[in-house]
Amino acid sequence: MNISNSTTEDEQVYAGVFGCVMVIGLPLNAVALWILLRRHSLKSPHAVFMVNLAFSDLLLIISLPMRIYFHATGTWPLSNMACLIITMLFRDNIRSSAMFITFISVDRLLAVVYPLRSRHLRTSSNAWKGAAFVWSFMLVVNIPESLDFLEHLQDHSQLIYLQIVLLVTMLAVNIVCTIMVSWTLHRHLSDSAKVNNKMKVMLVFVMNLVLFAMFLPVPIGMAAQYKKIKPLVCLTVSNCCLDPLLYYFSFDSFWRKNENCR
């Protein structure tokens, strides 16, 4: 009886966590997406990646009501296909968010370390090509993963190991970008105004690394068949509430229209 009560209480906690993430994350990301589309030119590659990141978070958030219902009631009223879609939205958010964040880090690296030589690379056209690649990759990965999920109705798949490799690789790229940008800014910025700008730039990279720390626990836990995976899922889902901070620190003036935000 005590085990049953404890399990029920845990499920209620999970429902509460997902509810808080939805209540906080939905308006934050919706407003951020509106501001990015309305006030910042999509000619900026940086803005293109931000818009796609916000869209990825919103796709995850719209799946949370059914997760909340499941944990609150202990029943699943929909089909296995609906369960599959919600599961894929969660996994795709980890992968797509990690890829868009990596693109953002590389874009900032090119802008700070190689501002002149990278101008032909840092175009909105190339940014949209990168975004198209990310979403195409999601579709390709979802096909075998969905078939495996429907066949076994479990979370374990060989693709989990591929996801871990991809996440660790992208984390390494973000760390390298952070080190190179920090070294460049340290060499060339000295006065107080520029130091303040340096702090804003470095906050973007710090946020990126924090978000990666939230992405990795779930696939690692799944690969290790860790039984208490749900707390890790709660941690990962909460990244939707932190991404808007990334948008704020990424632009000199997030709220003011800026047509040349490069």
- Spatial neighbors of 257 by CB under 8 A, at least 6 apart, are 39, 40
Give the residue-averaged pLDDT of 118-135: 92
**What integer pLDDT is reported at residue 141 of this predicted model?**
86
- Domain boundaries along the sequence of the chain: 2-250
Give the residue-averaged pLDDT of 170-189: 87
Nearest to 182 by CA among 168, 196, 199, 194: 199
Confidence of residue 116 (pLDDT cuts 50, 70, 90): confident
Fold for domain 2-250? Rhopdopsin 7-helix transmembrane proteins (1.20.1070)
pLDDT tens per residue across span 57-81 = 999 999 999 999 998 888 888 888 8
Mean predicted lDDT score pLDDT of the chain? 82
pTM, to two decimals: 0.85
> If you compute the radius of gyration of the chain from its CA atoms, what whole number of angstroms results?
20
**What integer pLDDT is reported at residue 196 of this predicted model?**
58
Q: Among the residues of 1-79, which ranges form H helices?
A: 2-39, 45-61, 64-73
Which residues sit opposite 258 in a β-bridge? 40
Greatest alpha-carbon span in the chain = 68
Confidence of residue 3 (pLDDT cuts 50, 70, 90): very low
Q: CA 201, 243, 223, 130 torsion: positive or negative?
A: negative
pLDDT greater than 60 at residue 33: yes
